[in-house]
Amino acid sequence: MLPEYGSRLFELIDRKVDDEFRADLACYVIEAVERWEKRVKIDELKLISLKDHRLNFKIVLTSGDEIGIEL
């Protein structure tokens, strides 16, 4: 069993969306990808919007590919 598997995104639940939140979001996503998905490297992560309690953010990989994610 891997008790550390996953990410720390659950720590962001019910937090105010401010600059610290944005920094933690980027940190937690990059941290999880670097630890669990060695095949890709993140160049940029940007919070696009927060609407109807849903986060939309964009991940840009060093390959130039972009991934849109909604949580």
5 Cβ contact partners less than 8 Å away, ≥ 6 residues apart: 36
Task: Look at residue 55 in the predicted model and tell me its pLDDT.
Answer: 85
Task: Look at residue 59 in the predicted model and tell me its pLDDT.
Answer: 92
Cβ(12)–Cβ(28) under 8 Å? yes
Task: Look at residue 1 in the predicted model and tell me its pLDDT.
Answer: 64
- pLDDT tens-place string over residues 19-66: 999 899 999 999 999 999 989 999 999 888 888 888 898 999 998 899
Tokens of 35: 């630890």
- pLDDT tens-place string over residues 3-12: 778 899 899 9
Query: What's this model's pTM, rounded to 2 decimal places?
Result: 0.80
